[in-house]
A and B are shown apart, each in its own frame.
Chain A
């Protein structure tokens, strides 16, 4: 029974990684850049939701919506101010370094505004917990909601990309940016839309992450951000179902590694598994092996 408990914990943790990884993978797949500030947008989302809940007393759903709006705006602004001017830069490293800079900027701004100390997050999920097998397996409402939300987001993102016009524009930009522009696709608007969706998802991830592990500090997003990035690479970066599967697997491996091997080296195990997967399948679990045309 303890194995099933650990498995449930792993899936619950993995579902949060999955939502964050979806944001990473969308931005990478379409804009071909690693947005290292994604984890910190999560932190901003969590703070905005917390301020709404505690300072204005807004109902949870309103807090989540305001937090999503704020993060969407933040994502578009970051893209326009920090990344767009560098898109034509000779080296793709320039934009990567800028992303790291934005990440620190957000962390330091949060330090300045909210202070270094952590604040306890108010749980926004009022979903009843489920007790199975005579109370031996207790699944909290937050866990259920997190898993449901991550599945809903994955399905709707897949549908959005494959069935709608802006989605097709995203696919086109991802395949060949210059050709898409020649075919009349507004590349800048498409990339802005990608950042808007990715950052909106980050707000949801922030609220769910802090509902499950209820403390928010300026560094809340940093480690989950790195883990989710790993999950996105694990599943094949650019692939939406890959990010989902990668996130869940990463969470399960982490928790089982902690439970059965050692709490000290759990992270080393997670990244060790990543190395093995990449050695066997360099493009990740669901990644397409695309030949770069020279």
Chain B
């Protein structure tokens, strides 16, 4: 027993020595090491690879234009398979490679786990796409996308400002924190934008019958139905409303993204459905077109999704904050973080997903953008 303890302590001591020595050898004075973590394999791989590819487009542009404060960017992405433990391991691997700031993680649950480590190290963390409130619960953490509940506030703002409807019915999933969170914020914000919520009905579990909820909305005279839910139940709601000859307009959040991909779904039912999404490759502005072209060229013609745009904006946000703070690559991780925390609140980023500023809570402030489904395609509104 004693022998084992000694062996372990010797190994541990050796490992500690190694970890003291190793980073020093990879630190280079003229390079910023930006780490990225996300699922590159497994079920959520589409999100992680989009973030990696989107970030790389930004990094190449910046390096070609002379880098940040004269230093080039070395972007390194690690796979976390959308798993919390793997994500923390990836974080440690990147730290050993000299990571100075983290763009990640891509998905919410791993981000919450990695955040705890990042807070300990005082490492600056900017998640492009982690939407859970807890994913940035630290003063070193920021995000590019809207949080889940904020989508409710922004939806109310968008519907009100663009005068899409005044009488709104809500159908939400009562046992899903995502849906309930959006609904609560939407309900709180609606009166500020002249919206009247005439019915608000829940469903639970894998419910497939929405007749009652739709009748309640119809009888209350709802002109628009707000759907803070995922696309599968939404497809049933669209069908059942059409069957009962009720034709309101529909507005949803990022959960509706995927509606057009359901097998056998009659996409004509989704015609006119609006959803809040930060990015659409069909937008005609110059920045989007340039990004889409560069992304396609680097990835065999693949069309970027919103995660790629979030990552692109994330890299440019880091650049802007670093320039604002005058950060140099020889500074320590903690010093860089302290400087960026302040600078993030100073910068204004003209990004793909809008003109963004950040608050001390790490949440982005930007105009919500929406698309409308027209002829089976997302068209910017």
* Chain A residues in the interface with B (C-beta under 8 A): 2, 5-6, 9, 13, 50, 54, 117-122, 138, 140, 213-215, 217, 219-220, 222-223, 255, 258-259, 263-264, 266-267
| Contacting pair A264 B215 (CB below 8 A) | no
| Contacting pair A222 B202 (CB below 8 A) | no
| Contacting pair B202 A263 (CB below 8 A) | yes
Cβ proximity bits B247-268 to A, threshold 8 Å, 1 near / 0 not: 0000000000000001111100
Within 8 Å by CB of B263, from A119, A223, A264, lies A119
| Contacting pair B208 A215 (CB below 8 A) | yes
Chain B residues whose C-beta falls within 8 Å of the C-beta of A267 in the assembled complex: 204
Q: Chain B nearest CB: distance from A57 CB in Å? A: 13
| Contacting pair A263 B209 (CB below 8 A) | no
Q: Considering the chains assembled together, what is the distance between the CA atoms of A6 and B240 in angstroms?
A: 14
* Closest Cβ neighbor of A268 among chain B residues: B204
**Complex A-B, nearest 10 residue pairs according to Cβ-Cβ distance, in ascending order:** A213-B208, A120-B264, A258-B212, A119-B263, A9-B211, A120-B265, A263-B201, A118-B232, A263-B202, A259-B212
Most buried by B among A13, A118, A266: A118
| Contacting pair B264 A6 (CB below 8 A) | no
| Contacting pair A264 B174 (CB below 8 A) | yes
Q: Chain B nearest CB: distance from A52 CB in Å? A: 13
| Contacting pair B215 A140 (CB below 8 A) | no
Chain A residues whose C-beta falls within 8 Å of the C-beta of B212 in the assembled complex: 6, 9, 255, 258-259, 263
| Contacting pair B204 A264 (CB below 8 A) | yes
Within 8 Å by CB of B215, from A5, A13, A122, A214, lies A5
* Closest Cβ neighbor of B212 among chain A residues: A258
Q: Chain B nearest CB: distance from A159 CB in Å? A: 31
| Contacting pair B206 A219 (CB below 8 A) | yes
Known: A255-B212, A259-B212. A117 touches B262 (CB 8 A): yes
Q: Chain A nearest CB: distance from B242 CB in Å? A: 11
Task: Jot down 23 A-B pairs with beta carbons below 8 A, ordered by A.
Answer: A2-B215, A2-B219, A6-B211, A13-B209, A50-B264, A117-B232, A117-B263, A118-B235, A119-B264, A120-B235, A138-B245, A213-B236, A214-B239, A215-B235, A215-B236, A255-B209, A255-B211, A255-B212, A258-B213, A263-B174, A264-B202, A264-B204, A267-B204
Chain B residues whose C-beta falls within 8 Å of the C-beta of A263 in the assembled complex: 174, 201-203, 212-213
Tally inter-chain residue pairs, CB-CB below 8 A.
73
Chain A residues whose C-beta falls within 8 Å of the C-beta of B263 in the assembled complex: 117, 119-120
Within 8 Å by CB of B266, from A54, A120, A223, lies A120
Q: How many residues of B contact A (CB 8 A)?
A: 29
Chain B residues whose C-beta falls within 8 Å of the C-beta of A214 in the assembled complex: 236, 239
Q: Chain B nearest CB: distance from A202 CB in Å? A: 17
Q: Chain A nearest CB: distance from B45 CB in Å? A: 15
Chain B residues whose C-beta falls within 8 Å of the C-beta of A213 in the assembled complex: 208-209, 236, 240
* Closest Cβ neighbor of B200 among chain A residues: A263
| Contacting pair B264 A54 (CB below 8 A) | yes
Chain A residues whose C-beta falls within 8 Å of the C-beta of B109 in the assembled complex: none
Chain A residues whose C-beta falls within 8 Å of the C-beta of B188 in the assembled complex: none
Chain B residues whose C-beta falls within 8 Å of the C-beta of A118 in the assembled complex: 232, 235, 262
4 new A-B contacts, CB < 8 A, other than A9-B215, A122-B264, are A6-B212, A9-B211, A120-B264, A255-B212
| Majority secondary structure, B binding face | mixed
Chain B residues whose C-beta falls within 8 Å of the C-beta of A222 in the assembled complex: 206
* Closest Cβ neighbor of B211 among chain A residues: A9
Q: Chain A nearest CB: distance from B102 CB in Å? A: 30
Tell me, yes or no, whether B20 is within 8 Å of chain A by CB: no
Q: Chain A nearest CB: distance from B301 CB in Å? A: 25
Chain A residues whose C-beta falls within 8 Å of the C-beta of B239 in the assembled complex: 214
Q: Chain B nearest CB: distance from A55 CB in Å? A: 11
Chain A residues whose C-beta falls within 8 Å of the C-beta of B201 in the assembled complex: 258, 263
| Contacting pair A121 B232 (CB below 8 A) | no
| Contacting pair A215 B215 (CB below 8 A) | no
Most buried by B among A2, A215, A223: A215
| Contacting pair A217 B215 (CB below 8 A) | no
Q: Considering the chains assembled together, what is the distance between the CA atoms of A267 and B209 in angstroms?
A: 13
Within 8 Å by CB of A223, from B205, B211, B219, B244, lies B205
| Contacting pair A120 B262 (CB below 8 A) | yes
Q: Chain A nearest CB: distance from B244 CB in Å? A: 6
Q: Chain A nearest CB: distance from B179 CB in Å? A: 12
Tell me, yes or no, whether B333 is within 8 Å of chain A by CB: no
* Closest Cβ neighbor of A215 among chain B residues: B236
Q: Chain B nearest CB: distance from A38 CB in Å? A: 17
Tell me, yes or no, whether B71 is within 8 Å of chain A by CB: no
Q: Considering the chains assembled together, what is the distance between the CA atoms of A64 and B217 in angstroms?
A: 35
Chain A residues whose C-beta falls within 8 Å of the C-beta of B235 in the assembled complex: 118, 120, 215
Tell me, yes or no, whether B284 is within 8 Å of chain A by CB: no
Q: Considering the chains assembled together, what is the distance between the CA atoms of A120 and B355 in angstroms?
A: 38
Tell me, yes or no, whether B216 is within 8 Å of chain A by CB: yes
* Closest Cβ neighbor of A129 among chain B residues: B243
Q: Considering the chains assembled together, what is the distance between the CA atoms of A50 and B264 in angstroms?
A: 10
Q: Chain B nearest CB: distance from A82 CB in Å? A: 25
Chain B residues whose C-beta falls within 8 Å of the C-beta of A223 in the assembled complex: 205-207
* Closest Cβ neighbor of A209 among chain B residues: B208
Q: Considering the chains assembled together, what is the distance between the CA atoms of A54 and B211 in angstroms?
A: 27
Q: Considering the chains assembled together, what is the distance between the CA atoms of A9 and B208 in angstroms?
A: 13
Q: Considering the chains assembled together, what is the distance between the CA atoms of A140 and B209 in angstroms?
A: 14
Q: Considering the chains assembled together, what is the distance between the CA atoms of A9 and B232 in angstroms?
A: 21
* Closest Cβ neighbor of A13 among chain B residues: B209
Q: Chain A nearest CB: distance from B273 CB in Å? A: 15
Q: Considering the chains assembled together, what is the distance between the CA atoms of A117 and B219 in angstroms?
A: 33
Chain A residues whose C-beta falls within 8 Å of the C-beta of B207 in the assembled complex: 223
Chain B residues whose C-beta falls within 8 Å of the C-beta of A2 in the assembled complex: 215, 219
Q: Considering the chains assembled together, what is the distance between the CA atoms of A117 and B264 in angstroms?
A: 12
